[in-house]
Every structure is written in structure tokens, then in C-alpha cells.
Amino acid sequence: MSNRWWTGTADPVLSLSRGLQQAGFQVYFGCTRGDTLEKRAQQAGLSPLPWLSLDPKKPHTFAQDLLALRRFVQAEQIDIIHTHLSHDHWLAGLVKRSCPDPSFLLFRTLHTARGLHNDPLHRWLFSHQTDHFFTVSRALQEECCRVGGIAATRISVVPGGVDTQRFHPDVDGRSIREEFHLAETAPVIGIVARLAPSRGHLTLLAALQHVVRRYPQVKLLIVGKGEYRPVLERHVRAQGLEKQVIFTGYREDDLPAVLAAMDVFVLLHGGSEGSCRALLEAMAMGKACVAGAEGALQENVEDRRSGLVVDPEDPREIAEAILCLLQDRQRAAQMGREARRRVERCFTEKHRVERTVEVYQARKDQAQRHTGTQA
């Protein structure tokens, strides 16, 4: 995985790798060396391959990686290479093309549509070198077919997974309310997302202005970091929302407690890992959620059963959904319980690993049948 940071796809890729290892697979993990992801992998018991650079910023290392990976694949008789980013996909695809008799299957998870292209080179990579694709939502699967020209039969949908022991309704959020001086009776809305223009923070702040008229004591916790924070802070001051909005910064170790302090969780747009993991974590906490009507967000939530789905560009509709949950706490609690049950049914890390293994095995069986037919 050509990523050095603990953001976006890194966490779900590492948790999947760890789960496959626990399921009995011999997992070899590759990532950009010398930074956070490498350290996290080591802490998880996955020793990153020391001879693999996977650094898109150093294109001269690509040929070295190509030769080294080809030798490794042949020496270790690798069965599967599973890639998650374009750099890695091209590397594995060229390794497969350069092997005289490649025996491994090449998989690619498309976490977002950014990796989709329909030019001749990508059609070659997608159609002739890649055995199968994963996506994290049905909406993305449809986009892969439409934009990437990939047949639906070559794409399996495996949604995101959550650590349901870490993110649990019994987590206590009082320490967070104390940290930010939140009264026990104060309604608390929250969003966990990178502070970037595409994540819908400005729309949520516009919705907050409607909510404040009904609940002047409401608080909005904006959790995360990013280059857009100065813009958001200026907007908060310009709209006179300084008393209502709290920027918590990036939270990791105590993220379950931060979520526990919230009454309503809002996520309007997905990020770089596609499965909208922050929403799934809030659902696992038993929180009433408001989700934007797009991609994995609207697939994760059953509208009016385990949350409310809204137009992510309509502040008034978003505000009405938030007010609905704040005014009817019994309904909000019921939605939260159903959200937790839905996560347990569909979105655990165990489910994600099991579904991935099923697809691996099905493709392996298909390849063996194809080889037998040719023989």
C-alpha cells in the first residue's frame, strides 16, 4: 500500500490484513516505509516488507520494486496480491505481466471512484491483468461499471467493518463533556471527518443556525484535523456561532468517548476510504445518525429505521432531521439501538474478513476450473 499516513484507507487495510492473518493466511504487508503506517503495522504484528519502497514520490524506485516483488512472488509462491491504491495496482499488474507463468490472483479494492479511468492503458490493467475487484458500496460498484467499463460480475461489494468491542454503547462520554464544559442537559451534535471543503462542514454550520433557534444551548463538536480549519473558524465567528461550535482537533485513543458524548451524529459526505467508517463507528456506539443521501452513507443507514438520510446540500432538511432526533429522544434511542444491531449484522470486521475470503476462494476455484479446461 503506497501510503505512509494513518489516514483514509490505511486503517481499514491494516485491519483487514490483521483479520486475514488471524484467519490463518500468511500475510505479507507492504507500505511506504519510514512513517506512521509502517509503525502501526509493526504494532499490529505485521512486519512490512523491508525491501519494498512503494513511494510514489520517488519514481526511480518503481523499477527496483518491480524486480524485487517479482522475485519475491516467484520464490514464495504467492497465491494472492491484493492492492488498494493505483500505484500498487500498476506495480502488481506489471509484475503479473512480466512473470512467464503467473500463478497468483490480482485483486484491487476501489475505495473511491478516483482510481477509475477508461483509457487504453487502464483498460489493459483492469481487463487483462486484474482478476477481480472489490468496492465498499453498491453505488461505487455501479460507477465502476459505468466509468471504468468493468463488468459487474468482476466486482464484489464488501462494505466497511467496525471494531464492535471498542465502539460500544456502554462507553462513557462524561470525561469529554467535562473536558469541553458541556452541561449534562446540553444537546450535543457531532461530526467526525477531515476538515476539507468536500466534507460538508459549511452546510452543517448553516443547518446549525436553524437548530440554534430551537435549542440555543446546543453544541456542535467538530472532530478532526485538516487544511480547512481556518476557513471554518472564520465562518463560525462570522455567523456568531462561537458559543455553539467546538473544534476538538484530531482524536484517536479516546474517539469512542468523544462519540459517546454526542446525542446526534452527522456525516454528509464520504472521504478517501469510501466506506464512511466514522458513520459505522457512531452506529456501533448506538448513536442516532443523520447521513447524506450518497454512496455508502445511504447504504449503511436504513432511512427512518437506523437513522435519517438527508440531502447533503440542503441545510434546512439537515436541520429538520437533527431537530427531529433532539425533540423525540425515545425515537432517537430506538434508532440508535437499531443502528447497533445493523452494525452487528452487517458491518463487523469479522464479516468483512469472511466475505473477502469467500471471494478469494471463489476466484481461486474459478481459475482452477479454467486451467483444467485448458489442459
**Do residue 191 and residue 247 come from a single domain?**
yes
> What's the CATH number where 337 sits?
3.40.50.2000
**Do residue 337 and residue 358 come from a single domain?**
no
**Do residue 220 and residue 266 come from a single domain?**
yes
pLDDT at 33: 85
Phi, psi for residue 245 in degrees, rounded to 5: -105, 130
pLDDT at 373: 64
pLDDT at 374: 59
pLDDT at 210: 98
**Do residue 64 and residue 189 come from a single domain?**
no
Q: Report yes or no on 168 lying in a domain.
A: no
Q: Report yes or no on 4 lying in a domain.
A: no
Q: Report yes or no on 270 lying in a domain.
A: yes
Evaluated on CA atoms 349, 355, 358, 360, the torsion sign reads negative
Q: How far is CA 281 from CA 30, 255, 276, 346, in A?
A: 26, 9, 9, 13
**Do residue 154 and residue 221 come from a single domain?**
no
**Do residue 76 and residue 65 come from a single domain?**
yes
Beta-sheet pairing, 264-267 with 245-249: unpaired
**Do residue 154 and residue 17 come from a single domain?**
yes
pLDDT at 372: 64
CA 30/CA 2 separation, integer angstroms: 8
Phi, psi for residue 312 in degrees, rounded to 5: -70, -5
Q: Is residue 370 within 8 Å of residue 105, measured between CB atoms?
A: no
**Do residue 122 and residue 252 come from a single domain?**
no
Nearest Cα to Cα of residue 5 among 229, 232, 194: 194
**Do residue 178 and residue 124 come from a single domain?**
no
- pTM for the model stands at 0.94
pLDDT at 272: 85
Over the chain (375 residues), what is each successive 10-residue block's mean pLDDT? 80 94 96 88 92 91 96 96 96 95 94 91 96 97 95 97 97 97 95 96 98 98 97 98 97 97 97 92 98 96 97 98 98 98 97 98 90 61
Beta-sheet pairing, 188-192 with 219-223: parallel
Q: Report yes or no on 212 lying in a domain.
A: yes
| CA-based R_g, the chain, Å | 22
Q: Report yes or no on 235 lying in a domain.
A: yes
**Do residue 181 and residue 157 come from a single domain?**
no
Domain count, the chain: 2
Beginning with the edge strand found earlier in the chain, give each strand of the sheet holding 219-223 in spatial order: 245-249, 219-223, 188-192, 264-267, 288-292, 308-310
Q: Where are the beta strands (DSSP E) in the chain?
A: 80-83, 105-110, 132-135, 155-157, 188-192, 219-223, 245-249, 264-267, 288-292, 308-310
Helix (H) or strand (E) holding 355: helix 349-374
Domain span at residue 226 reads: 174-347
Q: Report yes or no on 2 lying in a domain.
A: no
**Do residue 132 and residue 235 come from a single domain?**
no
Q: Report yes or no on 39 lying in a domain.
A: yes
